[in-house]
Amino acid sequence: MVSGRKQHRWLVQAQLDYLLGANAFNMSYVTHFGTYAVRNLHHLYRIGTGVSLPGFLVGGPNIKAQANVAPKNMGMQSYVDDEKSYAVNEFAIDYNAALIGLLAVHSSYFD
């Protein structure tokens, strides 16, 4: 348990809910997970083959919109599901590691 306190359980669930669709777009930021999930991952394999692999967590909203594809300075709405937008639609090992950690904590609270 996080700090051994059960009162933090809601926070773990809220973070997972956000990543999986309780957000401004009602979209799961994990590829192939949920009814409305990221489809256009910025990943060379996906771009080159057209094959999208499941289970990748993308960066999500980014107000800086470095690729000049996603809307800029729109807070949680600074996102677009576009393979050209590396700033919001690229996966990274650290994003996915954090997701695995969150799922582990969630499991310890709810199992």
pLDDT tens digits for range 27-53 = 999 999 999 999 999 998 988 998 988
Predicted TM-score (pTM) of the model is 0.89
* Catalytic positions: 81, 90
Which pLDDT does position 89 carry in this prediction? 94
Ramachandran area for residue 6 (φ above 0: left; ψ -120 to 50: alpha; else beta): alpha
Confidence class of residue 99 from pLDDT cuts 50, 70 and 90?
A: very high
User: Which one-letter amino acid corresponds to residue 90?
Assistant: E
Task: Identify the DSSP state of 71.
Answer: P
Cβ neighbours of residue 36 closer than 8 Å, sequence gap 6 or more: 21, 25, 26, 27, 28
Task: Tell me the β-bridge partners of 91.
Answer: 58
Separation of first and last alpha carbons in the chain: 11
pLDDT of 100 > 80? The answer is yes
